[in-house]
Amino acid sequence: MRWLLRRAAETVLVLLALSVLVFSLAALTPGDPAEEILRRGGLQPTPAAVAALRAELGLDRPLPARYAGWLMDVVRGDLGRSYVDRSPVGAEIMARVPATLRLAGAAALVAVGLALTVALWAALRPRGAVGRVVAVVTVAVAGVPPYIVGILLISVVAVGLRALPTGGDGAPEAVVLPALTLGLAGAATLLRLLRADLAQAVGQPFVKLAAAKGLPARRAVVVHALRLAAPNAIAATGVVLADLAAGAVVVETLFAWPGIGQLAVSAIRQRDLPVVQAYVLLTGLATVLLLALADLCLTAADPRVRRR
């Protein structure tokens, strides 16, 4: 219980630090938001009009007061209004969250499922050709940026074979290519660690003893070796899932996926700072919560962590 309270306090402090950084993103950006809003509305940014709008938006208050007010609004779920069309940013973000969650969930299944399957296969056949091929492919995929993988998949699968859509969210199978693009990088990272830990666990005396007593090799690896390799894999999975949440912006843009990543890219082009601010805040929040969840799972899976 004491560990949980300490971990919760640490998470709150990290979130507060994140809020300061996100607020600074808009507060310290060059340019006057009031002038930007007036110009986008087709109005002349006269000194009187700018001063009136700054007072309406609370931009004339001291920076600490503005931060406190913004933080209270965020806690209540108010993420501000867009500079482009003055629509609520929270509603615009929430409308795109389901698409991003579908993509991130499918990519997580690809990353974890592929890494676990291939690592177990290589552990059961350590001297086979699969292990060598896996090592080469893993290093190759890990060194290639996701957008290059996405372009190759579009060129070969979508354009060459005409097997899957090139982008959008118009059909259920449209998620396959972006999920593969996003998940392969995570699978390569997780596979390298899991394969090394399984190879070390298989050589442990108690695993060899279980096999010597007649336990099938597959069960010895899955039940005993995988349990020994699980803690490091759980910690790595948290980092991989956090990377998926942060890396979706490139893949969503490449495949025209209607998620919050594509919205953030559009907001950056239009200098729509409230939308960019909300995207950074939500992405950082998701990363912190995923890492905290990985810590909880690691504590539940490894008695040594609980004792520490």
**pTM of whole model > 0.85?**
no
Q: How many distinct structural domains can be found in the chain?
A: 2
* Co-location of 71 and 95 in the same domain: no
Among 50, 75, 100, identify where a domain stops. 75
* Co-location of 97 and 164 in the same domain: yes
* Co-location of 275 and 193 in the same domain: yes
Query: What pLDDT, on the 0 to 100 scale, is given for residue 194?
Result: 81
Query: What pLDDT, on the 0 to 100 scale, is given for residue 71?
Result: 86
* Co-location of 229 and 264 in the same domain: yes
Look at the block and give the residue holding tokens 């996926």: 257
* Co-location of 54 and 116 in the same domain: no
Quick check: is 239 in a domain?
yes
Residues 229, 203: contact at Cβ < 8 Å?
Answer: no
Among 43, 75, 107, identify where a domain stops. 75
Quick check: is 269 in a domain?
yes
Quick check: is 37 in a domain?
yes
Residues 181, 255: contact at Cβ < 8 Å?
Answer: yes
* Co-location of 161 and 15 in the same domain: no
Query: What pLDDT, on the 0 to 100 scale, is given for residue 304?
Result: 60
* Co-location of 45 and 100 in the same domain: no
Which residue range(s) make up the domain with 60? 2-75
* CA distance from start to end of the chain: 13
Query: What pLDDT, on the 0 to 100 scale, is given for residue 276?
Result: 85
| CATH code of the domain in which 138 resides | 1.10.3720.10
Structure-token pair, residue 250: 């490139």
Give per-10-residue mean pLDDT for the chain (308 aa): 74 85 77 74 76 77 84 86 82 88 88 83 72 68 78 85 78 85 82 78 70 70 72 79 76 86 83 84 85 76 59
Among 40, 75, 110, identify where a domain stops. 75
